[in-house]
Homo-oligomer: A and B are copies of this chain.
Amino acid sequence: MASQEVPKTCKVILSDTIAKKLLAEVRETLAKVQDPNATKPTLAAFLANDDPAAAQYADWSKKTCEENGFNFDLRKVDKEVLEDAIVAANQDDSVDGIIVYYPIWAQNHQQDRYIQETVALTKDVEGLCHTHLFNMYHNVRFLDPPTNHKKSILPCTPLAIVKALEHLQIYNPILAYGNRLFGKTITVINRSEVNGRPLAALLANDGATVYSVDINGVQVFTRGSGIRAPRHKVLDKEGWGLKDVLPLSDVVIGGVPTENFKVPTELIRDGAVCINFSSYRNFDGPAVKEKASIYVPSIGKVTIAVLLRNLVVSDPVPVSANRRV
């Protein structure tokens, strides 16, 4: 009886808290690689939609950049000239990294994908260019083997979620690096090419069993075993849905980009960890706090910290020039 009366407590962790530690690391790296007389690295951010979430995200990005030693150059452009503006920034030596606020063509993700691919590989700090994604899936760490000076970038939102899971100690540091999610079951609700699918692969490669859910069904991602298949494996789970995977999951990650989707709280396991990376609230806040052990209502500020991390670990012109001195 007594155990039923112990109040359930859910720890709510804000993305700010997780971002702080990452930003301290970014400042440290920047101080190491940056000549004090050099100009600050510049992040060019293209805003070509009217999404208030994007505008708010741009405001946060500006503040974060300025507080941490970066220039933030917001460029508001019409979507019809966006491509030309990106091409100009690709060729502009004063721009070290480029980000673009998506979605632009809300109902045509394929055209957004075209724009993602238009960003020059060496300035893509979001990790959305095909070569970055391909390298992630294939566990290739550098863009320039065998020299290995230029790191391949992981896609920023999936990486932000990995960083959040590390902060929350879901990644167990007792285990060996690369094996720290072994034994964990994780549901990721979203299987887009830029967020959900790479996230599922990253988590599976670290040892988790990952249920990847979208409107078309469920796939399970697991780490390949043996020497010949070190990469993740994917299997379709015919007929499965949230009702089958949520009760099994230690961690539930929501990334559905619509206002009316809510993860059914009654299916979530008692004491699960719930993380939302959609700009809409995928969890019913008051209800999920009665169920979850940890709830992270948004990941946005971690993503910004990861962008700056990508900017200093990639090879921006002023930074790398100093690094080789």
Q: How far apart are the CA atoms of A114 and B118 in the complex, in Å?
A: 14
Decide: A193 and B80 in contact? CB cutoff 8 A: no
Decide: B233 and A107 in contact? CB cutoff 8 A: no
Across-interface contacts of A117 in B (CB, < 8 A) = 117, 130, 134
Contact of A110 among B107, B192, B233 (CB under 8 A): B192
Min CB distance, A281 to chain B, in Å? Answer: 24
Decide: B111 and A193 in contact? CB cutoff 8 A: yes
Min CB distance, A240 to chain B, in Å? Answer: 15
Min CB distance, A104 to chain B, in Å? Answer: 13
A108-B216, A191-B108 in contact; A234/B114 too (CB < 8 A)? no
Contact residues on A (Cβ < 8 Å of other chain), bracket: 20 to 34
Residue interface bits A95-124, CB-to-B below 8 A is 1, else 0: 000000000000111110110011000000
Residue interface bits A165-206, CB-to-B below 8 A is 1, else 0: 000000000000000000000000001110001000000000
Across-interface contacts of A108 in B (CB, < 8 A) = 191, 214, 216
Contact of A113 among B83, B113, B234 (CB under 8 A): B113
Min CB distance, A248 to chain B, in Å? Answer: 22
Across-interface contacts of A130 in B (CB, < 8 A) = 114, 117-118, 130
Query: What are 16 contact pairs spanning A and B, CB under 8 A?
Result: A83-B137, A107-B215, A107-B216, A108-B191, A108-B214, A110-B113, A111-B193, A111-B197, A113-B113, A113-B193, A114-B133, A114-B193, A117-B117, A117-B134, A118-B134, A130-B130
Given A80-B233, A108-B216, A110-B110, 15 extra CB contacts under 8 A? A83-B137, A107-B215, A107-B216, A108-B191, A108-B214, A110-B192, A110-B193, A111-B197, A113-B113, A113-B193, A114-B133, A114-B193, A117-B117, A117-B134, A130-B130
Q: List the interface of chain A (C-beta within 8 A of B).
A: 80, 83, 107-111, 113-114, 117-118, 130, 133-134, 137, 191-193, 197, 214-216, 233-234
